[in-house]
Structure formats: C-alpha cells, structure tokens
A and B are shown apart, each in its own frame.
Chain A
Amino acid sequence: MALLQRPFFVLLLVLTHQFMQYWIAFGSVNEEGQKQEEEFNEELLLKPLPDRKVLAHFHFQSSAPPSTSNGRHHHIFPKAISQLVQKFRVKEMELSFTQGRWNYESWGGFDPIPSSNAKPPGVELWAVFDVPQHQIDASWQNLTHTLSGLFCASINFLESTTTYSAPEWSFPPASGNLRYGTLPREAVCTENLTPWLKLLPCRDKAGIAVLLDRPSIYRGFYHSQRLHLTSTGSGSEGMVSGIILEQTLTVVLQPNSQRAGMAYASERHIQPSWSLTSIFGKQVSGTCVLAKSSNVYLLLDRGLVAELEHLHKENEKSAENGFTSQNFWTKPSFELSADPDRIFIEENSLHSKGSSVLYKFQVEKYSESEPFDLSLTWKIPVVWLSQQAPLHASRFLMGSGNERGAIAISLKSTQLSEGFMGANADDERCDLQVNVFQVVPWYVKVYFHSLQVFVNQQPKAISDIIEKIHVSPSKDKVSPGVMEMVLKLPCKVNSAALTIEFDKGFLHIDEYPPDANQGFDIPSAIISFPNFHASMIFLKDDSVNKSPLLSKFQEKSPVMSYTEALLVPLTTPDFSMPYNVITITCTVFALYFGSLLNVLRRRVAEEERFLKEKAAKKTGRLSLLLSKLSAKLRGRQWEPPSSPPASSSFINAKLVFKVILVAGLAVGWQYFFS
C-alpha cells in the first residue's frame, strides 16, 4: 500500500508545483500591470586597449521596485542586501575591491568606464545615509561590520573614526550624510569574489558570469570588483524602498597569443587577436534564465575608431571606388566571429576625435550546443591612444628622513585633450575647474599653511588659483585630516603642482600595525573635473534605455581619477626593545635596592661596638669550626677570631626590619602607580 501511495504523492506534488508555477507567473503578470517587477540584467563589455590588452567589464544589475505587497521577500533580489539597506537606511553605497592600478595613461581616463570603475588599490567604501546627523556614525560603524561579514574582508577596520571621513562637497555624490573610507592595504582574493557572486541569482553557474574563471581573472593587470547600490526613497509609510544593486567587475587581461606573436617579426605590429576562450578559458553557453536581458558588447573607443576611419580613407584613396560610410562598419579592418545584432554609433560629436562604436551581441541566441564565443581578429596593424582626462594627476612624497616630508600633487596636461579644450581656449577667462579631495591619516601631521601652488612652473598666490577650500585638520588618534579644494586653472595650463608639508608623528606602541616597518599608507586622493562629463550618448532607442549598462554610460558624471596611494616610512621602534628595557630596569632596581638596603641596614659604629662585645664573649660553635677549617686549608695557624658574627637574636630583629622595609616599599610603589 505504501508503495502505491508514494507515486501518487509524487504526482500530486508535481501537479501542485506546476499549478503553483502558473499561479506565480500569473501573479507576477498581474503585478506588472501596476508597477515594475524585480529585474536582473547581465551584460559584458569588451574593449581592446591600446597596449595589447583587453578590458572586460561585467555589469550585473538587480533591481527591486518599491512595493508593499512583497514585504521582506524577494524573488531575485539578494535578501542580504535588502536587509542591509532597510536596517541602516542606506541611500546610496559603493564598495570596491581592487587589485592593481588603473593605467590612466594608456587605458584612458575620460570614458565612463575608467571614471566610474577605476578605483584605488584595496578597499574603498562610501555610503550616504538617510538618518539624522547624529546617527550617521553609528550607522556607518554597523554597516562596516555587516559588510565585513558579508564579503569576508576586514572592512570593519573602517569602523574607527581615524579611518573614515565626511567629505563636504568635493566627492561627487556630495551630501552631508556621506561617509568615505579606504583601506589601501587590503588584499583582494577569491574569498571576496565568492560572496559577491552569491548575490547574483544564477551565481556563476549560468549566463555571462560563467566566464569568471578565477585563475584567468586574477591573472590580469587590473581587477576591480564593485558593488553599488541606490535605494529609491520609499514614498509612503510601510512601503519598502526600491533598491537598485549594480555589481560590476572590471578586469584588464592580456590575450594569450601575445607571446606567440612575438616570435614573428611581421606580426609584432598587429594587435593580438583574442576570443572569449583565449582570455577567460570559457565560453558562454546560454543566458541565466532569470535574467531579463543578457548581452555582450564590444566597444571601440573614439581614438580607435578615428584611426580606423583614417586607415579606411587611405585605402579608399588607393582603391578607385570606396565604400559608403555604412559599409565601413560592416567591412572593418578586423574580423568578428559572430555577427553583431546591432551597432550603436555614438551620437554627439563634441569631441573632435570621432565617436565610439558599440557592437551588441545577444546571448539568448546561443545555447549549450552552440556556445557563444566572440573572437576578434585584427587584419591590419592599428595604433591609437585612449582618450585622457584633461589633466594627468600623480602624487608623490618629497623629502627624506624620519622627521618631515611633503606631499606633492602634480597635474600635467595631457596633450590629447587639447582638441576639445580648444573650443573654449579662445576665451580670455577660460578656466579649468579641478576638485581635489585628499584624506591624510592623523600621524601625518599636515601643515595647511604650507600649501604652495605652482602653475606652469611659476609659484602662484593661493588665492589666485584656489577658489574654494575646506580643511578639517586631523585630531590625534581621533580623526584624519581632510582637505577639499576647488582649483581654477587657466585652460592653457601645461603643468600644475600642489605641495603641502607635513611632520611625521609618533604612534603609541600598541597602535602600530603588524608590519610597521613597511611604512604607513596615505590613501589615494581623488581628482575630479566637474566641467567634463564622462558620458557616451547613443542614438535614442528603446534598446538603449532597456540596457542598464548603456543607460549608465549616458549618465552625466564628472570625470574622476584617483592618484597613487603613498607609503610614508615612519619611525618605528625596535619591537624587541621592551625586553631590553625590562632587563635593564630590573638590573637597575636590583642594584638600587641592594645598595639602599645595605646602607640602611649597616650601622658602622654600632656594629663595631657589638663586635667588640662579642669578642669578649664566646664565639658561636659553627663559625669557630668554619674558621678553623679555613685556617687549616690555608695552612696557617688558627688564631681566635677577633670579629665574631652577630648573635642570632640581632639577626632576627634585622630580618624583621628588612621585611617591613621591603613591604613598605612595595606598598608605596603600588600606591604610587595605581
């Protein structure tokens, strides 16, 4: 009977399951009628870089709309994140783990990708809270602990007030409720990636995330894993706020074929050809079923397109009849293994350099049997340069020794930006606005009065260049020093430099980190150019708006760049010193107390009197024997001792006195030091 019952039960289960699925589907359709549904989009952007490398930018976006019906439950959206947002009332937050440095000079600094995805090495966290002012610090501290647990990283070190700061206006999402902190020394590894992947509905089991093969993505030259969330404020009470969670992973990889290519001199000038398999070692075999859209893009940046157009025109001249401009993109100087589903061409031509081109591939069309493996094969050698930020910023330390030093930020004009600066450069009053945000730990004691500005190698008055400055000096062991500045530089500036001097502080012995002799980090400064917007505007189209990555590109965000983290060597004590100190103090104390007791105990006159008295009396038997023995050993005739030792009663009295003295000293010592 039991055997018969089980299939029935299973059947029933299957049936109900089917029904339930229908029901859920029906319900969701119903909801869609009123408002948006929870969504998940996965996208990958690939971009060849001028120095024979390839940039891969993964972009996963999950969004949960504000709703009352769902309550705390979500279909796709990660619960951990929504809990975190609800609990700490986070309005906006960004967490990034980065390994390696973004090479602004050769990988560009003007596009949306570098300006929002190039991050300083280590961990960077900033968050905007929707709580009253006095609760912000507490929320921040709790948030750091939560994130620390969530991402297996030591983000909890940002809890201490010495590590985070509250920028007023120079950090782009400027707001009074912002907290900003970095950990430059945090090492990034797979243990940080795994929890990050767990937030994705398909993890890395299906869809584009399959490409995230650990050995190949960590082999790269730059690896930045970022989590950005914004919560759209809940309109009414009881409504759970909507959250948009944006997870990006930016890696710069070297295609494997490079070494082989070096062997042939003729091929050395051609950019390396690559495919998804050659750079990741994997292919995309279908979408994540929960994803609303799943696309792969190939971006050719402005410089490359301009160069290709130039080459194309030359070819056109040599050949008698040319192609139309439409043909140009379908017959380019490289070959793609798959046909793009769409081609977007950047619309605006504010930049003289031409416009970038985007190829779109839909992953939905591919399956297990026919996996998607995009490959790019160059046919002709191309050399181009990425578009740079108006000024290239670098920061370095000056001076030597353990006493003082100086921090210098040097801004050098990138020759390439002249083109689009030229439009404004004719005006007399043309200014280039530069925002500088710099946090300095308290043990680097910055003297803000020593700020010096040099423009084109000429010293300038600070008031001429600095339009606005906000300084919050560091407090020892409490808060770091923050410097925010708005510089107005002339458009034709060639080079500019800011220097500021500092003294190196001393730390308490227990404030030293484990490897103190490496030096101490000064986190990266942020240089932003509010007049320049890193955006790519494509033809207005539904598909553009649907894609979160492309709509992200269209946002007008200021161009930002991070400077290098610095390493300040501070004076570090010899950590074996406490041992030496203990030994030497013990010796000194022993000598001191020994001689003190000796002085206190001995009464020369009295002793002599006693000795004389004793000499009259009979001597102790033991000492008599001893002195006889010693006399025998020396081979001399024994003579009766003239100075016998003191009597036992006297010794006892002295002993008591000594004990009391030592006890008194101990009590005094204890009292003095407690």
Chain B
Amino acid sequence: MLANQHVLEGNRLVNDLTSSNLKSSETGIESQRIIARYMLDLGAEASIHKFHRQLNHFHPLHFFSSPDSGIIEENYSCSSYGINTVGIIRAPRGDGKEAIVLVTPYNALKSGLGEALSIGIAYSVFSLLSQVTWLAKDIIWLVADSRYGEYAAVSAWLRDYQTPKFSSLSTLDAEMCPDIDNLYDLKVNSITGSKFSSSFKRAGTMAAALVLKVRNKSDQFEDTISIYAEASNGQMPNLDLINVVNYLAVHRQGLHVKVEKLWSLLNSSWLKILGEIFESLGKVAKSLNPKWKFGITATEYVEGTATLASSLYYQALGLPTGPHGAFRDYQIDAITLEILPKFSSDKVRHSDILLRGGRLIEGVIRSVNNLLEKFHQSFFLYLLTSPSKFVSVGVYMIAFALLIAPLPIVAASLYVDASSLGNCSKSDKSTPSASLDTDEHSITIGSWMWLNSAKLVFLVHLWGAIVSLIPYVICQIPDCTPTTSFMIWVLLSMLSFLTLYSVLASPLSCAKASQEKEWALVKSVTISSVFIGLGLMSVINFATAEIGALLMVPMCLLARPLKLDVRAGTLRSFSRMIGNLVLGLIAFPPAAFFLLKGMLDGFGSVNVGAFWIWVESLWAWNSATYLFIGMVHLPCWVLCIHILLHTC
C-alpha cells in the first residue's frame, strides 16, 4: 500500500522539478536528468529515448497500412528532437514476458505544476513498486516529452518498441547532438548499482497502459478523475479496464469519476421534458409492480444522454482523445486518466493528491498485474452512458439494424415497380400486331435498364474517390490558409465533377424514352449502394455509420423529383418537398459540420476554414470517417440531389 514515505519521495521530486524549472529553462534537459537520477536511485533501469518529430502527411496509399510503414527518413536537425525518459522495474520473480506501462506526459520547456504533480504521482507509485514482492509483470514508466504533443512522443516510443529500425542513419545524427551527451554522465548509480543506458530498453509484451495527467487549473469542488478511452477509428479499450479504474476510484479513493459529456445537451429543455416523461413512466410502472425498476430520474437521463452523445461523437470522429490512442494501434488496452484536483494551492493538498492518485494507480496496476490472461472477457464494442454504465454492441446494433433494414426492401420494391411500369407502358404503346420478339426484346432491354443508373452511381462514387484524394494535391501547395485550401478543394471538386459528367455521363441522356421511371431506378441503385456502404462502415466504425445513417437514410428514402411533387400539388407532396429540401441541405457534409459546430459553440465562431482543419485532422489520423464521408456520404448526397432535380 502506498504510504506516506513514498508520497514524501514523490513530493521531493515535484519540488526539485519545479525549482529546476526556475533555474534553467532553455533546454529542459535538466529535468530529464533529475527524473533519470530519481529512477536510478530506486534501483530501476533508466534509459532515454530520442525521437524526431514526425509531421503528419497524407499518404493515399498508406491509408490503412499499419503504423510502422510509410515513415519517411528526413534530414533531421538537432533542434527537432524530443527525449523520453524510460524507467523499468523488473519484476523480481516474474519471467519478464509481460509489462504494464505508465505514461506521464511532461513538457520540460513549459511545464506547469500539474505536469510536475503527475510525475510526482507516478514516481511515488514507482518507488512503491520497486520494493514490492507481488509484481509479476515488469513496470515501464515512460515520461513522454510532450513538446511536440503528447501523442507524438508516445507513438514514437511505441514505434521504436514494436517496430525498431535496425539500419538507420538518423539515429547516428542524433548522437552528434551535443546536449544529449550531458545525460550520459549519469552512467552508474553508486548506491543501487543500476545503470543508465542510452540504448533502447524493452520489457515483454504490454498488457495494459495507463496515461496519467493532472490538470491544475480547475475549479472543481471535489477531486475528480476524468477518463478518456476513445482511440482511433472509434476503437475502445476493454471495458474491464474502465470498470477497474471506476471501481477503485469511487469505492476506494472516494474520487469523483466522469467521462466526457456534450455540455450543450445538459441544458436543452426538450431532453429534460423527455427525461421527466420517462421518470413519471417509471413511477407509474413502479406503483403497478414494485419489481419493475426501469425508473430513471430526469437528471440522470439527461446526463446519460449527454454522455452517450459525446461517446458517439468521439467514436465517430475516429480521432484518439489522448496519448492512449497510440497504444490501441498495437492492440494494447490503454486509457488516459486526468486528475482534476480540488482548487487549492497549499502544499498539504499536493501530498493528498499524490496519496490518493498514487493509491488509485497502484490499485489499477495491481489489478492488471494479477491477471493471468490479457483483457478479453469483457466488451470491446460499447458506448458509455456514465462511467459505470454502457450500451453494448448487442443493444445498439438493433437500433442501427432497424434503421437500415428498410433500405434493401425499398430498393427492391422500387426496382420491381420501375421494371413493371416500363413493361406496362411499353405494351400499352405497342400495337397488338407487334410480334412477340419485339416484346421479348423490350423485356430484355427493360431488365437491363438498371445498368444505366448503376453506371451513374458508379461514376458519382468514382468522383467521390477523386474528391477525397484532392487534399493530397492541395497539401503540396505551400503557404495555404485553411480557407483558401477549402476553396481550392471545392473548386477542384466541382471541376472534376463537370469533367466527369461531360466526358463519361453524357450518353446517359440518350435514354429519353424511359425517363419517367429512370429516377426510380437511380434511387433504387443509390439506396442499395448506401446500404452496402453503411453496412461496411458499421463494421469499421459503428458510430460513424450510425450518425451517417441518421442523416442518409431519411434523405434516401424521401428523395423524389421535385417536379413530380410540384405537379401533384397536394399537402402531402408539399410537405415531402419541404422535407426533401431541408434534408438535402443538412446532409451535405460541410453544412452538417457547420450546423453542428454552430449548435455546440455558437455560430459566431464558424468560418469556412474550420471545415478544412477538421478534415485535415481526420486524414492526418487515418480516420476511416474521412473515407466514409468522401466515398459514401458525399456521393449519396449528390445522387439524392440528382434525383430531386430530375426532369421528368
């Protein structure tokens, strides 16, 4: 159990770090040295890991490839490297096959008290673990140099851990950088006999990883921990990891645990009314039979919905919400814990945070340590509604399946209607004296009619692929503001659309005879392609598919040429026309983005460049959402607009 003695040691390190900041802040190498010395004092193996900042580039060919490939060797200079400090405790009686990773991001150049505190917590846990006998897995403590971002440091370390390069010239260059050499004078610790090494140290297969952060500037009224779990493409760590943290934090350390929420939803009145309805329904049900316990209070309902929405949103984005995302790329379960201490500035509070945070980390590490197998029994596919509640895949898939189930049915019925209508009209027009073979001919023509629309749909999808490749070209243009980039993108997209249309799609218009049913066929093919796209996406990233389906399914189902509706002139067709127009506006990806952003942050902050920045972050992180938008959503929208504007 973490005792006061360890907390004192942690506090000592915090004080040393904060004071060294005042002394020399130009390189930040001093704080690395202090941390390495402290690690050595414990008898742990300490080493440093140099890495170079890697800029995120868009490589169309490397989109789905594993993280190791596609690394370009660049001429690095001494100024653009970071130094991670790594300490390893070998389990005294373990066989060294597995390891648990503890990460504390630390920016030596401008570190606040929060970062120093997070290092203090990790150090106090580390000093405890260097003495305990129950360790079965090695412990790796990574102090990630976050001067180029927390994620970059962690992913660089992981890349060197998992896929090292044995032949490289860049590491040789880094050796020449002068101030790193200052670190090597630590060499051997006289007390513990542990050595400091510059070579990369390893310890077995990683079982789980914890990223620890302390945010100092907070105005919480109680000590809070927020959990971030979403990794790239909506992958989540095993639910058991979150459960362990939640259980230990709430029941052992008395900390308040929270997960991200969409704050704007908390104040929405319609949600509150809905929640109250559910609450009263629950009360009625309870009065009928006391065993029925689906009563949920209105506030709980609202909070749960806000959490669910944010969980869905972050998974759909496909961007990792913290450095833990780097671990998920290597199938390692990881979460980020952010400790938000109660607002206070006295020293006593510091040791209290160290003690409680340290005990929480210790408990989690001990739980993972005691596991014989890696996490596999619990859920990997879930949406959180609160730190202790979730919606599992078996439940949320039903909603999604019901949402997309009409698509194939509608597509089939449209197709059948269109082909039978065509036949009927043909047979009506043709004179009874017409021979049998022309009738047969028309039937064969009619049954292959859908190929025309399929060609159109295919072309539009091709155009979608081209549009999603254009940013690669735009990136090559130097000195582009996001706004101009976005403008260039839109222009190029339209240009390519027009070229495609004029070159390839012109023979489309020759089939004038059957135009009245052509839109139905186009709609049928569109709907089936959307169905396939959504089905595929639901496997890759469910949340994206869910949100996409919410926008696209009504749009596809409602789509009907405006001319027909105008011609009909009834109230029903009028309302359908309005619905179509609204949906056509909302479902356009940039429009949807601006609308959402406006709703969340207020419309004042919306500008055109924001969308470009958002898209850039999507492809930089290899998010499948980008592909989905480019190759499923956008073509579908274009096709629906095509149907709406159909001339029949």
Which residues on A are within 8 Å of B, measured CB to CB? 49-52, 99-101, 103, 105-106, 121-122, 184, 219-221, 223, 268-269, 381, 383, 385, 394, 396-402, 408, 410, 412, 452, 454, 457-459, 497, 499, 515-519, 521, 564-569, 572
Contacts and interface: CB of A to CB of B under 8 A. Distances in A.
Most buried by A among B90, B94, B133, B373: B373
B202 A394 contact: yes
Interface in B171-217: 171-172, 188, 190-195, 199, 202, 204-205
A399 B376 contact: no
Given A106-B193, A408-B164, A518 B372 contact: yes
Most buried by A among B93, B204, B329: B93
Nearest to B194: A51
Interface string B55-69: 000000000001010
Given A519-B97, A566-B204, 6 more contacts: A51-B194, A122-B95, A398-B162, A400-B329, A497-B166, A518-B374
A101 B191 contact: no
B188 A399 contact: no
Contact of A268 (B166, B171, B191, B331): B191
Contacts of B92: 100, 220-221
A499 B166 contact: yes
Contacts of A402: 331
Given A106-B195, A385-B188, A398-B162, A572 B98 contact: no
B191 A269 contact: yes
Most buried by B among A101, A402, A515: A101
A383 B205 contact: no
A457 B43 CA distance: 30
A381 B163 CA distance: 42
B374 A517 contact: yes
A569 B168 CA distance: 28
A207 to B, nearest CB: 27
Contact of A383 (B164, B190, B374): B190
B506 interface: no
B97 A52 contact: no
Contacts of B192: 51-52
A401 B162 CA distance: 11
B202 A221 contact: no
B431 interface: no
Interface residues of B, number: 38
Interface of B: 43, 66, 68, 90, 92-98, 133, 162-164, 166-168, 171-172, 188, 190-195, 199, 202, 204-205, 329-331, 372-374, 376
Given A51-B193, A567-B204, A103 B90 contact: yes
B152 to A, nearest CB: 18
Contacts of A105: 195
B133 A101 contact: no
17 contacts: A52-B191, A52-B192, A100-B93, A106-B193, A269-B191, A383-B188, A398-B162, A399-B163, A408-B164, A408-B166, A454-B166, A457-B166, A457-B167, A458-B167, A518-B373, A567-B97, A569-B205
Most buried by A among B66, B191, B372: B191
Contact of B205 (A99, A457, A567): A567
Contact of B98 (A100, A452, A567): A567
Nearest to A402: B331
Contacts of A457: 166-168, 171-172
Contacts of B330: 400
Contact of B193 (A52, A499, A564): A52
Contacts of B133: 219
Contact of A515 (B94, B162, B202, B373): B373
A566 B97 contact: yes
Given A381-B190, A567-B204, A398 B163 contact: yes
A517 B96 contact: no
Nearest to B92: A221
A270 B194 CA distance: 15
Contacts of A385: 188
A564 B97 contact: yes
A402 B166 CA distance: 23
Contacts of B97: 184, 519, 521, 564-567
B491 to A, nearest CB: 40
Contacts of A410: 166
A499 to B, nearest CB: 7
B164 A50 contact: no
A397 B162 CA distance: 7
Contact of A565 (B43, B96, B199, B202): B96
- What are the 9 closest A-B residue pairs judged by CB atoms, nearest first? A51-B193, A517-B373, A121-B95, A567-B97, A454-B166, A400-B330, A50-B193, A497-B166, A518-B373
A521 B301 CA distance: 48
B98 A400 contact: no
A457 to B, nearest CB: 5
A566 B203 CA distance: 10
B164 A398 contact: yes
Contacts of B376: 517, 572
Contacts of A99: 93
A32 to B, nearest CB: 45
A383 B92 CA distance: 22
A589 to B, nearest CB: 23
Most buried by B among A51, A269, A459: A51
Contacts of A572: 376
Contacts of A518: 372-374
A572 B95 CA distance: 22
A581 B234 CA distance: 28
Contacts of B96: 101, 121, 564-565
A565 B205 contact: no
B330 to A, nearest CB: 4
Contacts of B168: 457
B66 A401 contact: yes
B95 A184 contact: yes
B606 to A, nearest CB: 40
A585 to B, nearest CB: 20
A293 B172 CA distance: 57
Contacts of A122: 95
A355 to B, nearest CB: 22
B162 A399 contact: yes
Contacts of A515: 372-373
Contacts of B188: 383, 385
A106 B96 CA distance: 16
B199 A412 contact: yes
B233 to A, nearest CB: 14
B50 to A, nearest CB: 14
Nearest to B332: A400
A568 B98 CA distance: 10
A121 B205 CA distance: 16
Given A517-B376, A565-B96, A566-B97, A401 B195 contact: no
Most buried by A among B95, B168, B204, B376: B95
A219 B134 CA distance: 10
Contacts of A121: 95-96
A52 B43 CA distance: 10
A458 B97 CA distance: 29
A291 B329 CA distance: 61
Contacts of B167: 454, 457-459
A402 B163 CA distance: 15
A233 B633 CA distance: 81
A566 B190 CA distance: 32
A276 to B, nearest CB: 21
Most buried by B among A457, A516, A566: A457
Nearest to A456: B167
A121 B90 CA distance: 14
Contacts of A400: 66, 162-163, 329-331
A519 B374 contact: yes
Contacts of B98: 567
Contacts of A459: 166-167
A100 B94 contact: yes
A99 B373 CA distance: 19
